[in-house]
Structure formats: C-alpha cells, structure tokens
C-alpha cells in the first residue's frame, strides 16, 4: 500500500484515467476499484497510454 502511494506522489499525472465508454477523465490511484464519475463504467484506461490513438 505504501508503495502504491509513493508512486502516486511521484507521478501525479499518471493518476489520470480515461473512461473507455464516454472518455471522461477520472483521477484515481486505484482504477481497478474506481468507476467513471460520469457514466459509472468501470473500465478505465491510462490517459498516457503509449498506444493512444
Ligand atoms: Zn464514462
């Protein structure tokens, strides 16, 4: 747990995930337990994914 928190502090922008359904940005350090704040969809992807586009 502490390890995860450390990573979160180091790379703040890595905490942004995009909903696969409505593309809303969701900031979380635990995407697996987070649902989209707009539509409630639970499948989020990292905003800075290398294969974006
Ligand atoms: Zn959504």
pLDDT at position 28, please? 92
- Asked whether residue 52 is assigned to any structural domain, the reply reads no
Distance 6 CA to ligand 1 centre (A): 27
pLDDT at position 1, please? 56
Distance 42 CA to ligand 1 centre (A): 8
Cα separation of 51 and 3, whole Å? 26
Ligand 1 ion: nearby residues, β-carbon < 5 Å:
19, 21-22, 24, 36, 38-39, 41
List pLDDT tens digits, range 2-11.
666 665 555 5
Which CATH number covers residue 30?
Answer: 2.20.28
Domain span at 38 = 2-46
pLDDT at position 23, please? 95
- The separation between the first and the last C-alpha atoms of the chain, rounded to the nearest angstrom, is 32
Distance 31 CA to ligand 1 centre (A): 13
Cα separation of 32 and 30, whole Å? 6
pLDDT at position 34, please? 95
Convert 13-52 to b/e letters by CB count within 10 Å (16 or more is b): eebebbbeeeeeebeebebeeeebeeeeeeebeeeeeeee
**Residue numbers of the chain with a pLDDT score lower than 50:** 52
Q: pTM of the entire structure?
A: 0.64
pLDDT at position 47, please? 85
- Asked whether residue 51 is assigned to any structural domain, the reply reads no
């Amino acid at each position: 747990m502490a390890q995860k928190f450390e990573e979160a502090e180091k790379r703040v922008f890595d905490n942004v995930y995009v909903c696969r359904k409505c593309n809303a940005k969701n900031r979380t350090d635990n995407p697996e337990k987070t649902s989209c704040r707009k539509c409630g969809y639970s499948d989020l992807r990292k905003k800075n994914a290398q294969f974006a586009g």
